[in-house]
């Protein structure tokens, strides 16, 4: 007989616990990406963009197969002003800038990560975070959304804000919430 796992409500203490666990396991990855972003903060030169695309894609396994096309797509969008203003709409534009064999391929997870590493005002999307938000919503009905709605960035951010409000998490950063949902989610879903 399989034991049923209990989805625990988030608290500042549990979030801190899972942020520490995430940081212990992922410190080198996070430091590497942040270092590259600090070296190449702008998105003007194609070689700077390409470097960041390669690093984020490889270290976060975002499945960008044509790194050159994605890099040129980002360059065409001239994204720095959007990033500086935390314009959430730029995520969708980056996600839709990838063209393979004449078809647009939606690179949502990559786009959120690319923006998030440039500006902490962009929460990052991941399939584990998606699953955890759906599980919490099934349990507590903290927001009005359907699973596929999370693939719209404005809705995703609204849902995260609803999560923060419902569980009275105060001034938690998106970065810490990302780390919590991902690490607790990984442990909860996969027992790792």
Strand stretches in 37-137, DSSP E = 98-100, 103-105
- For 102, the token pair is 């004449």
Q: How confident is the model at residue 192 (pLDDT cuts 50, 70, 90)?
A: low
Query: pLDDT tens digit string along 66-79?
Result: 999 999 999 999 99
Strand stretches in 18-156, DSSP E = 98-100, 103-105
Q: So what's the pLDDT on residue 98?
A: 77
Report the C-alpha gap between 61 and 84 in whole angstroms. 26
Q: So what's the pLDDT on residue 128?
A: 97
DSSP letter for 98, please.
E
Q: How confident is the model at residue 191 (pLDDT cuts 50, 70, 90)?
A: confident
- Secondary element (H or E) of residue 167: none
CB within 8 Å of 72: residues ≥ 6 apart: 46
Q: So what's the pLDDT on residue 1?
A: 42
Query: pLDDT tens digit string along 113-130?
Result: 999 999 999 999 999 999
Q: Residues 36, 41, 90, 76: is their CA dihedral positive or negative?
A: negative
Residue 109 and residue 61 in contact, taking contact as beta carbons nearer than 8 Å: no
Query: pLDDT tens digit string along 76-101?
Result: 999 999 999 999 999 999 999 877 77
Residue 150 and residue 159 in contact, taking contact as beta carbons nearer than 8 Å: yes
Backbone torsions φ then ψ of 103, nearest 5 degrees? -115, 140
pLDDT at 3 over 70: no
- Read off the pLDDT of each residue in 173-185 and give the average, rounded to a whole number: 97
pLDDT, mean over the chain: 94
Residue 92 DSSP SS3: helix
Residue 130 DSSP SS3: helix
Query: pLDDT tens digit string along 22-58?
Result: 999 999 999 999 999 999 999 999 999 999 999 999 9
pTM: 0.94
Domain ranges of the chain: 12-26+124-190, 32-118
Q: Residues 137, 16, 125, 190: is their CA dihedral positive or negative?
A: negative
Strand stretches in the chain, DSSP E = 98-100, 103-105
Residue 108 and residue 95 in contact, taking contact as beta carbons nearer than 8 Å: yes
Percent of the chain with pLDDT over 90: 89
């Amino acid at each position: 007989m399989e034991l049923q796992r209990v989805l625990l409500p988030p608290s500042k203490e549990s979030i801190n616990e899972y942020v520490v666990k995430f940081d212990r396991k992922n410190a080198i990855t996070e430091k590497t990406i942040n270092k590259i972003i600090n070296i190449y903060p702008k998105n003007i030169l194609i070689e700077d963009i390409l470097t960041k695309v390669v690093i984020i894609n490889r270290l976060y396994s975002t499945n960008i197969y044509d790194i050159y096309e994605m890099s040129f797509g980002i360059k065409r969008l001239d994204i720095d002003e959007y990033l500086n203003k935390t314009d959430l709409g730029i995520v969708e534009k980056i996600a839709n800038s990838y063209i393979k064999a004449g078809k647009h391929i939606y690179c949502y997870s990559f786009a959120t990560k690319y923006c998030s590493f440039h500006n902490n005002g962009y929460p990052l999307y991941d399939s584990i975070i998606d699953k955890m938000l759906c599980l919490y919503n099934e349990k507590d009905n903290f927001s009005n959304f359907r699973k596929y709605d999370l693939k719209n960035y404005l809705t995703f951010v609204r849902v995260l804000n609803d999560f923060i409000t419902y569980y009275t998490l105060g001034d938690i950063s998106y970065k810490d919430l990302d780390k919590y949902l991902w690490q607790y989610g990984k442990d909860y879903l996969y027992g790792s």
